[in-house]
A = this chain, B = another copy of it.
């Protein structure tokens, strides 16, 4: 849910409107009631006559305006008719509206304001009509009620008129471009030219016009290949590439064995350990963990370049570093080349006022020295001893943020009145320079919008560019949390991204307890690798790995892969694909510079051998088609078509072309493409009639087929250069 940011814009003010149309209303709950704000009057609301769709209100603004936000008033108490889900549309006419918002109201008494989409790229667009479409009420079988609506925006003619002009010009232009595209596809040359001459609207970038000329008009395929080649080199395919789905590529790392002696030249089996990565030197640091029987204190560094582990210390305690531990957290200051560690899990048997002190260490990489920053952070105003918390480094401001984790207590100790009831640690900031702790948020139950709920086993990531912490998932006692919020560390402001009620049928990862997440500030993406649920009965749900990406800018989740799907779609494939088995208590770090993930160890959750821990080490690359791949692919498409055209007239030279030029461009490692290639010769015997595409019966067949190839190639270019994606005829409905 978005918070109203409009306060910033000066011109923004309340817009006067009337209720123009409605789907229905019941008894005295007239649509006009939304014009007045009477939270204490039960009857001052619009209520639909049923919840059978479509139900809606259409508001008409007094004059066209840039509508920037909508505010919903409510009843003074919670109400079953409040809108749990709704959409808002807007436009200059009733028939032609765009979606401006899709959201929902909290079932409380607070007014809620939502920013409405009012720009395309940077251009503001005007609305005369606003349509509110309720989708779900809080009481499932109840009618929809709206108590009060306020619209805010700009109506100054000085601002709006230019937008109006832009709007009608925009539609005119897009219409003309669709015509031009259609005319050219159908070879209505004269109409095309006179329309272009008259309107001076450009169908596409000159480069593509040239491509069309070479390919469709002249059939100069060589020139096309060169043109594409140049385009790729000039980076014109980058936008396309950035829009392609990632394909995960896991590969197990088999490190070089130094001096080749024994297994002790690499970290042993463990879970609950910690890892950080120094992206400059491409070094992964690993410390501690639980090997199934005991806590560990060994400290390792893995060099990607040398593909080798080095043991920095067999026992850090001996070097005045931290004692053996697991379920602690580590974070790295790449600028200053320092590593911090905080927290640990202690079995209740060994807990006492001594052991329960929360020590806090820093490791200096270059000096190879440990420093005890605090014997007990609680004493310094920081967190008590916690485990399964989260910690992030903010190198820029030289700050550390620590959030959540369960506070360890001596059960049954006299002084501990609430030993039974679990306590969770709040959100703290540590100023490394001043060596001071500050409590930013106490554990709360999200009473207010600025409160946060502490937890364990959650994910927390720091976005070094927008300087926000992103928190999601985790667990509180028995409840798994599905909420997702960000915390602006400079503004000290919480924003709820998803309250966890949203149910997008599998479009959101099943966040739970043991997933692992990383962030890529450059791409503004969060990556999530599903974990294996600790709780055995829940394992069916995600007994296979899935990998998710959250696009911060678009506020949208997408699933890179789910193995159960892979299996369904292509059993063979997923068997070949080697990947780490599902697990928990493992570690995942991300090198955002080289875009590589590293995963080590963890607990495979084998009920038969509960003490078993893993020591496998993996790298994960998320791959998209490369420029080279696309160039080759385009060449293949062009030559394949060139062959098919040849095949119609000069079969022999076509066959020669197939064997020499075409085969060069085939990706023989790709089974589908290879198969296609093998079937091509049959084209030599195909009757040409098989080739005419539907709806092109009016133009010469060669022209139609070349046009199809052109449209295919055009898809690789950025939208700003291409003709409109749509087709004129597709706008015609029956």
Contacts and interface: CB of A to CB of B under 8 A. Distances in A.
Contact of A503 (B52, B178, B194, B195): B52
Interface in A716-734: 728-734
A165 interface: yes
B182 A191 contact: no
B505 A175 contact: no
Interface stretch (A135-143, A288-296, A407-415, A543-551): A135-143
A50 interface: yes
A317 interface: no
Contacts of A506: 24, 49
A5 B91 CA distance: 42
A368 interface: no
Interface centre among A98, A174, A198 (most CB of B within 10 A): A198
A732 B194 contact: no
A85 interface: yes
A172 interface: yes
A570 interface: no
Nearest to A734: B98
A164 interface: yes
A49 B732 contact: no
A242 interface: no
B729 A171 contact: yes
A120 interface: yes
B191 A23 contact: no
Contacts of A638: none
Task: List the number of copies, as a whole number.
Answer: 2
Contacts of A198: 188, 190-191
Contact of A194 (B125, B171, B188): B188
A67 interface: no
A30 to B, nearest CB: 10
A93 B136 CA distance: 29
A695 interface: yes
Given A191-B194, A195-B188, A728 B140 contact: no
A95 B140 contact: no
Chain A residues touching B, majority SS: mixed
A52 B141 contact: no
A53 B25 CA distance: 21
A199 B194 contact: no
Nearest to A97: B733
Interface in A610-640: none
Interface string A144-178: 00000000000000000000110110111011001
Interface centre among A53, A175, A506, A730 (most CB of B within 10 A): A175
A98 to B, nearest CB: 5
A83 to B, nearest CB: 12
A66 interface: no
A720 B595 CA distance: 62
A657 B53 CA distance: 53
A734 B188 contact: no
Contacts of A178: 728, 732
A68 to B, nearest CB: 16
Contacts of A576: none
A660 interface: no
Given A140-B141, A168-B697, 11 more contacts: A24-B506, A25-B505, A49-B503, A164-B694, A174-B732, A175-B728, A178-B732, A179-B179, A188-B199, A190-B194, A194-B194
- Top 6 nearest A-B pairs (CB, nearest first) are A140-B141, A24-B505, A191-B195, A190-B194, A168-B695, A731-B731
28 contacts: A24-B505, A25-B505, A49-B505, A52-B135, A52-B136, A53-B136, A91-B734, A95-B730, A125-B734, A140-B140, A168-B695, A170-B732, A170-B734, A171-B695, A171-B729, A172-B695, A174-B732, A175-B728, A175-B732, A183-B195, A188-B194, A188-B195, A188-B198, A190-B194, A191-B191, A191-B195, A194-B194, A195-B195
